[in-house]
A and B are shown apart, each in its own frame.
Chain A
Amino acid sequence: MKKISLMVLMGAMLSFLYACANTNSIARVHPEEVTGLPRCAECHTDNWTALNHQAQDFYLKHKFYAAQQRAACSTCHKESFCVDCHAHKEEIKPNDKYKERPELNLPHRGDYLSRHRIDGRINPASCVKCHGRENNERCKTCHR
Chain B
Amino acid sequence: MKIQNKITGAVRPCALKLAGAVLLSCSLLVFDHAAANATSISGDSLTILRMRENTRDDQLFPLYEYLNLSASDTGSQGTISVQLGGWGRIDLGDRSSQRRSDGDIQYGFLSYRANKNNLQFNAGRQWIVEGVATERLDGLYLRTDLAAGFTAATFVGTPVTTDPNFEGGELMYGGRIAHTLPKYYSIGLSALRNESDAEGLREEEGVDVWLHPIPQLDISGRSSYNSLSNGWAEHAYTLSVTPMDALRLSASMQRISYRDYFYHVTTSALSLTNGILDPNEELWNVGGSVGFMPTKNINVALEYNRYEYEIAGNADYYGVTASFTTPTALTAGASFHRMDGDTGPLRYNQYRAWATQKFGPADLTLDFFDVDFDSSITGRTNTYSLAAAAGYNFNRSLRVAADVDYQRSTDFDNELRGLVKLSYAFGFGKEGQ
Contact between B48 and A87 (Cβ–Cβ < 8 Å)?
Answer: no
Name the segment of B13-21, B26-34, B158-166 touching the other chain: B158-166
Q: Which residues of B contact A68 (CB under 8 A)?
A: 178, 186, 188, 208, 210, 220
Contact between A56 and B220 (Cβ–Cβ < 8 Å)?
Answer: no
**Contact-residue size bin, chain B (C-beta under 8 Å from the other chain):** 35 or more
Can you sample 8 A-B contacts with CB below 8 Å? A21-B117, A52-B248, A56-B301, A56-B321, A70-B130, A74-B432, A103-B356, A133-B266
Closest partner residue, chain B, to A86 (CB atom): B127
Contact between B291 and A55 (Cβ–Cβ < 8 Å)?
Answer: yes
Is residue B51 contacting chain A, with contact meaning CB distance below 8 A?
no
Contact between B405 and A139 (Cβ–Cβ < 8 Å)?
Answer: no
A139-B269 contact in complex given A68-B188, A83-B127, C-beta closer than 8 Å: yes
Contact between A134 and B221 (Cβ–Cβ < 8 Å)?
Answer: no
**Contact-residue size bin, chain A (C-beta under 8 Å from the other chain):** 35 or more
Contact between B117 and A135 (Cβ–Cβ < 8 Å)?
Answer: no
A17-B48 contact in complex given A91-B64, A132-B267, A143-B268, C-beta closer than 8 Å: no
Q: Contact string, A96-117, partner B, CB cutoff 8 A, digits 1/0? A: 1101111100000111011100
Contact between B116 and A24 (Cβ–Cβ < 8 Å)?
Answer: yes
Contact between A123 and B83 (Cβ–Cβ < 8 Å)?
Answer: no
Task: Find residues 124-174 in chain B having any chain A CB closer than 8 Å to their own CB.
Answer: 126-127, 129-131, 134-136, 143-148, 150, 152, 159-163, 165-166, 168
| Interfacial residues, chain A to chain B (CB-CB below 8 A) | 14, 16-18, 20-26, 28-30, 36, 41, 46-47, 49-50, 52, 54-57, 60-61, 63-71, 74-83, 86-92, 96-97, 99-103, 109-111, 113-115, 118, 120-125, 127-129, 131-137, 139-140, 142-144
Q: Which residues of B contact A115 (CB under 8 A)?
A: 371, 383, 409-410
Contact between B431 and A29 (Cβ–Cβ < 8 Å)?
Answer: yes
Distance (whole angstroms) from the CB of B347 to the closest CB of chain A: 10
Contact between A102 and B333 (Cβ–Cβ < 8 Å)?
Answer: yes
Distance (whole angstroms) from the CB of B401 to the closest CB of chain A: 6
Q: How far is it, in angstroms, between the C-alpha of A52 and the C-alpha of B148 when the chains are bound?
A: 28
Q: Which residues of B contact A79 (CB under 8 A)?
A: 68, 83, 85, 107, 126-127
Closest partner residue, chain B, to A13 (CB atom): B146
A21-B274 contact in complex given A26-B118, A50-B212, A123-B283, C-beta closer than 8 Å: no
Q: How far is it, in angstroms, between the C-alpha of A106 and the C-alpha of B89 when the chains are bound?
A: 23
Distance (whole angstroms) from the CB of A123 to the closest CB of chain B: 6
Contact between A83 and B291 (Cβ–Cβ < 8 Å)?
Answer: no
Contacting B85 at CB < 8 Å: which of A26, A83, A131?
Answer: A83
Closest 6 pairs (CB-CB, A-B): A20-B147, A111-B409, A56-B301, A102-B354, A134-B168, A17-B146
Q: Contact string, B395-433, partner A, CB cutoff 8 A, digits 1/0? A: 000000101010101111001000101000000001111
Contact between B267 and A21 (Cβ–Cβ < 8 Å)?
Answer: no
Is residue B226 contacting chain A, with contact meaning CB distance below 8 A?
no
